[in-house]
Amino acid sequence: MIRPLIQAGCLGMGLMLVLILAGGPGCREAKPPLSPKAAVFTKEVQAVIERVAPPLTEPVSREDREGAQKALKKAFSVCADACEGLFYNVIILDQQGVLTAVYPPAEVKSLQFAGYKAVQKAFAEKKPNQAILYLPNGTPIDIIFVPLIQQDKAVGLLALGFEGNLVKEKRGLGEQEFLSLEFQSPGGQTGQQK
């Protein structure tokens, strides 16, 4: 009588092992593919990141506000039309999360962004990530925070701001799809899906 119970126990353990292995790491939920519109938007924005970010790293690392503003104006004015006027503005933050430069050029006030979770995450992970901020009138601003990396250290952030309503109207991307996009820092570090 003991023998059938042992065999039943082994069978039960074997079945449990198969179930555990079936639900293990090989069975993760696949990330849905990007819509064609999201893929085009991602490619266009990535091209802007690749062109604009590299010349900003050096003046930002030296805390040269004037140099950062000049580099931003020069780099961004060449490709400002790349996303069909969707940019709301582009800002540069220093290592402390303080606004140091803005495009289109405007008077730069000492605004602090260090308390924003997306800013903290971009600095900590050294990878781009997105957030949606809202103007006082409720207009959404979709922002991509791209770390400026020098010698494996985030010396500042490039923040690309888009008017959310235009992104939705002209590109067909809602807030959730925008937040799920992945971008790379120049040099290939990828932002992960949220």
Return the CATH number at 86: 3.30.450.20
What is the total count of domains within the chain? 1
Residue 68 lies in a domain: yes
Residue with the bigger pLDDT between 112 and 25: it is 112
pLDDT at 185: 86
Residue 127 has pLDDT above 60, yes or no: yes
Query: Would residue 187 count as lying in a domain?
Result: no
The rounded Cα 194 to chain-centroid distance in angstroms is: 9
In a domain? residue 26: no
| Mean pLDDT of the region 147-164 | 93
Residue 17 has pLDDT above 70, yes or no: no
CA triple 191-193-194, angle to 5 deg: 110
Bond before 104 cis per omega within 30 degrees: yes
Quick one: tokens of 127?
């990878």
Q: Is residue 19 part of a domain?
A: no
Residue 121 lies in a domain: yes
Task: Tell whether 17 is covered by a domain.
Answer: no
Domain contains 160:
yes
Write out pLDDT tens, residues 60-93: 999 999 999 999 888 877 676 666 677 888 999 9
- Domain extent, residue 101, equals 32-180
Question: What integer pLDDT is reported at residue 105 of this predicted model?
Answer: 79
**Tokens 């540069």 map to which residue?**
92
Mean pLDDT value of segment 104-125 = 86
Q: Supply the angle between the helices 65-79 and 36-52 in degrees, to the nearest 10.
A: 140
